[in-house]
């Protein structure tokens, strides 16, 4: 049975903060996106904002863990079976047998990074585009934000899938 890895998910929740510190730094994005007016990007790094960003990063880590580790889905199918939570019964024995055979399948950085990319395309991008239509922001703004979340999703998904 796969246990919840609090430490890894806590560490990967730092990834968006580290990438945001670099990505939204004017000296970085002015070099990458020459000629773009991105002056609206300015994160105020206060203790409360860092705390909020850590909580949100942790929530994103949990969400990505269920997307990149397929074994968690199979395990959740058996939770209601008799004796499963006490690590006994036929369902638990079946799970142990299946994990012995297939427990390491699709558990690589590359696989997690791929799912992080899919997450950014099919979840993050539609949200940003809807936000663009609601707020009237530019397509450059949407593209800049989407690239940020793509880098975060790919990195976090890869780390979670490889190290969980």
| Position 16 pLDDT exceeds 90 | yes
Domain boundaries, the chain: 6-70+106-163, 78-105
Please, what sign has the CA dihedral across residues 116, 121, 127, 131?
A: positive
| Position 37 pLDDT exceeds 70 | no
| Position 34 pLDDT exceeds 80 | no
Is 116:155 a contact under the CB 8 Å cutoff? Answer: yes
pTM > 0.75: yes or no: yes
Is 71:2 a contact under the CB 8 Å cutoff? Answer: yes
- What span, in angstroms and rounded, lies between the C-alpha atoms of 30 and 44? 18
Averaged pLDDT score across all residues of the chain:
91
Position of tokens 């909020």?
A: 52
Confidence of residue 74 (pLDDT cuts 50, 70, 90): confident
Is 57:15 a contact under the CB 8 Å cutoff? Answer: yes
Count the Cβ atoms, other than its own, within 10 Å of residue 126. 10
Taking only the tens place, the pLDDT of each residue in 79-91 is 899 999 899 999 9
pLDDT at 39: 65
For residue 78, with 0-12 CB atoms within 10 Å meaning exposed, 13-18 middle and 19 or more buried, which class applies?
middle
- What span, in angstroms and rounded, lies between the C-alpha atoms of 139 and 24? 17
């Amino acid at each position: 049975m796969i246990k919840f890895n609090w430490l890894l998910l806590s560490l990967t929740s730092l990834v968006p903060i580290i990438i945001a510190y670099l990505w939204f730094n004017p000296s970085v994005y002015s070099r990458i996106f020459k000629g773009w007016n991105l002056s609206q990007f300015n994160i105020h790094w206060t203790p409360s904002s860092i705390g909020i960003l850590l909580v949100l990063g942790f929530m994103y880590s949990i969400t990505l863990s269920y997307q990149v580790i397929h074994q968690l889905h199979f395990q959740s199918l058996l939770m209601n079976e008799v004796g499963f939570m006490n690590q006994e019964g036929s369902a638990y024995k079946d799970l142990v047998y299946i994990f012995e055979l297939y427990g390491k399948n699709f558990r690589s950085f590359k696989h997690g990074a791929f799912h992080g990319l899919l997450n950014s395309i099919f979840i993050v991008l539609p949200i940003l585009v809807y936000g663009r239509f609601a707020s009237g922001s530019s397509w450059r703004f949407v593209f800049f934000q989407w690239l940020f979340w793509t880098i975060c999703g790919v990195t976090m998904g890869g780390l979670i899938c490889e190290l969980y």
